[in-house]
Amino acid sequence: MIKFLLIRHGFSLANEQSVFAGHTDMPLTKIGIMQGEKTCEYLYNNYKIDYLFSSDLSRAYDTILPLAKKINKSVIRLTDFNEIYGGDWEKVSYEQIALTYAKDYFVWKNDVGNSKCTNGESFLQLSERGYSALINLAKKLPDSCTVAIATHAGLLRALKCKLLNLLPNEMQSIGWVSNGSVTTVEYQNGMLNMTCYGYDDHLLDIKSKLPEFK
């Protein structure tokens, strides 16, 4: 069995400024760096990790980097684990998105599984990308190993919907995971099974979540 430990990156400048980051490369804040360190310490103490991956974005890579240093392994960046591509929403505040792209943002707020960023990626596309990324990676790895991957909240939410076989309009019931949280997915006999979504108890008093309006 392959165990995937999927980490949402730490609190970023985009989270702090309430802008849509998507594929825009925005760094971790001080609290985000602390969350990454705490999460890496938790993983180091509880798992024997064989491989490390992250999205191509620095907020994910820098979150998992302390773990790479602890176990003396390199981190491989894969763009398939990037956040949803925001198109016209990239690096725009959520308030401005709601004003300028009101129709598309209304769907995002009320039916996220069927939403699409204006001139960007849809959640259905993100769901397929995240699922395929895990399946393709699993096929290249040994049959028994533990893999840590630093990625993003949108991809994790879409992946949960896919693995639970929910309809797109049911994704609205799935919440966002917090920064620095760990989601566990197991791969065996060609199948993926999510066993934990957004575990963050190890973060104690430095937990953070996206504001409700997102």
- The chain-wide mean pLDDT, for the chain, equals 96
pTM for the structure as a whole: 0.96
For range 79-85, the mean pLDDT = 98
Domain spans of the chain, in order of start? 3-206
pLDDT single digits (tens) 10-32: 999 999 999 999 999 999 999 99
Provide the pLDDT for residue 41. Answer: 98
DSSP 9: P
Q: Domain 3-206: which CATH class?
A: alpha beta
Instruction: For residue 208, name the pLDDT band (cuts at 50, 70, 90).
Output: confident
36 vs 30: CA distance, rounded Å: 10
